[in-house]
Chains A and B, each alone.
Chain A
Amino acid sequence: MSSTVFDYFTNIRNAFTSIFHGLAVTFSYLFRKPTTIQYPDRIDTPVQQMLPPLFRGILEVDVGLCIGCNLCEKTCPLGCLRTAVVRDPETNQRYITRFDVDISKCMVCGLCSENCPTGAVRHSTEFEASTANMVNLVIRYVKPGERIPVHKPVKGEESPGLPQNEPIARAHKEWDEPPPVDPDQVRGRVRWKNDGAPEEEQSS
């Protein structure tokens, strides 16, 4: 507490000089390049292409690379992924019959993509997923009724993986006609064991 007249005036001087110092800093920014960019308009490159390749955006899946091991589904803490594999009893060929990703539940943690042995499931740099209908956020990579033969990795050869920063199937796409979604299966709560996924074969 200032007790003397001298202190009183010193305080006033200090206040003025310190404010002046602060204003000088602010003023110097008048001559620097702006650090902000306008989003989403007035940018030359879309933000998706400016992000580092590691960026964990919405999941995308190349079903052609999937070996049907079901690891991703098992590691996901939330149960966002649903896969199903059937085996043709005559030819012994295994087919993927279902690959659903519920990106409305996904917290983009990266556990599934890390555990995938072939890099079939990975993160895109896409992040704009807003849509008018929640059902649009369930991405089906295998159309109902379709059967995709599982990928057979060649021994000793690196899996090709996916080209970075090149969207294969834009994760966010509107359904022309929302697919019939079984609410019990896709939007279930955290259930770890035996939650009624379709008949599937154990990986060998």
Chain B
Amino acid sequence: MTQLILEDQHGETTMVNMGPQHPSTHGVINLRLLLQGEVIAKIDPIVGFLHRSIEKLGEMTPYPGFLPYTDRVDYLSAMFGNQVYCMAVEELLGVEVPRRAEYLRVIACELNRIISHLIAVGTMAMDLGAFTPFLHAIRERETVNDFMERICGARINYSYMRIGGVPRDLEPGLDKDILKFLDRFEKFIPEFNRLITGNEIFVRRLIDLAVIPAADAISCGLSGPNLRSSGVDYDLRRDRPYSAYPEFEFRVVTGEGYRGQTGDCYARYWVRIDEMLESAKIVRQALLGLPEGDVKAKVPRKITPPKGEVYSAVESSRGEMGCYLVSDGGEQPLRVRFRTGSFTAMTVLPKIVPGLMVADLTAFFGSLDVVAPEIDR
């Protein structure tokens, strides 16, 4: 069908720059579009505007001092940056993290996933012109942010984890408050679904749009919710267990095409909605089964891991977040490298977007849930 529309044109193309400052790109990304009429013939994502050379900074900073920088890799899910870096250094050092600390990390990470997915679904609705759901999502997010503030003292750039554990225990009474919130949150999601997810106009706007077939998703290296919505049942939390995840029961959500088909924009939206409920489940299990014990293993103040290299990966809210660390036995890493889900999500654009209308690109880009600083780092 798209081929037909292209042939209807008289071979005239226009080059349009979408971004670097565009409300629907969620950050500084330049999408260079070649348009034939209203249809996109070619797309060229130009990234790198937000490059902060975090990897280079890592090579200049001692191991413990680099931790706050890992927040800034992906500011919407800073916990995962913390965790992947701490896991890498701990593996280099051979430090065993206490079980209570692992549980606290899981609680913090899953709360962070809820925050991040709320933003994702909220901004996606906002991109399509529905502003109210965004405010509802933000309201819930603020509540979780308040918990984050009580867990670690900050609302966005958490810097919560430390090499060897977490710096402090939960403050008394916080677990009860979080459980109370989870009860409310599990009622909020159906309300949110009534508000926007089930809205026929919203559904019609998204179903069958920009389908990413499973084979394309795998070959482009997509991961996380974007991969799972294409029907690929792959989740690092279950398939390459780390931290305390093997001890929890949860369902890996895949886009089964609840409306429309597997791998369309609506499936990507739905996977995120469903994953929030799964995260809530994990937080509840972790809070109820919180083991006693220390929260931080003994690590020397000056960290000098032995020579070696290590790769650790966590399932962040935007896909696999990996950290590759090379140590030369010194106080600073020889090489730090981050693998992030948003960057690989950009590679799928030239495959899927040609043939879409400009207005559909907004919906598609919103459904990928990329965060610009995470692309460039």
Contact = CB atoms under 8 A, between A and B. Distances in A.
A190 B56 CA distance: 12
A114 B65 contact: no
B50 interface: no
B69 interface: yes
Nearest to A36: B139
Nearest to B192: A25
B200 A56 contact: no
Given A25-B191, A26-B132, A35-B139, A109 B68 contact: yes
Given A52-B149, A77-B65, A108 B154 contact: yes
B51 to A, nearest CB: 17
Interface in B199-226: 199-201, 203
A18 B153 contact: no
A19 B200 contact: yes
A190 B196 CA distance: 48
Interface residues of A, number: 30
A126 B194 CA distance: 40
A114 B299 CA distance: 14
Interface string A28-57: 000000010000000000000001101110
Given A77-B69, A111-B64, A15 B200 contact: yes
Contacts of A75: 64-65
A159 interface: no
A139 to B, nearest CB: 20
Interface residues of B, number: 34
Contacts of B69: 77
A22 B194 contact: yes
B157 A107 contact: yes
A26 B68 CA distance: 40
A51 B149 contact: yes
A180 to B, nearest CB: 29
A143 to B, nearest CB: 29
A110 B149 CA distance: 13
A9 B68 CA distance: 56
Contact of B198 (A18, A56, A192): A18
A19 B153 contact: no
A54 B153 CA distance: 5
Interface in B138-155: 139, 142, 149-154
B364 interface: no
Nearest to A35: B139
Given A15-B200, A35-B139, A110-B153, A22 B68 contact: no
B172 to A, nearest CB: 12
Interface string A44-75: 00000001101110000000000000000001
Given A22-B132, A123-B153, 10 more contacts: A18-B198, A22-B199, A26-B195, A52-B153, A54-B150, A54-B168, A54-B171, A75-B64, A77-B61, A77-B66
Interface of B: 57, 60-62, 64-69, 132, 139, 142, 149-154, 157, 159, 167-168, 171, 191, 194-196, 198-201, 203, 301
Interface of A: 11, 14-15, 17-19, 21-22, 24-26, 35, 51-52, 54-56, 75-77, 107-111, 114-115, 123, 190, 192
15 contacts: A11-B200, A18-B201, A19-B199, A21-B195, A22-B132, A35-B142, A55-B153, A75-B65, A77-B61, A107-B157, A109-B157, A110-B159, A114-B167, A190-B60, A192-B60
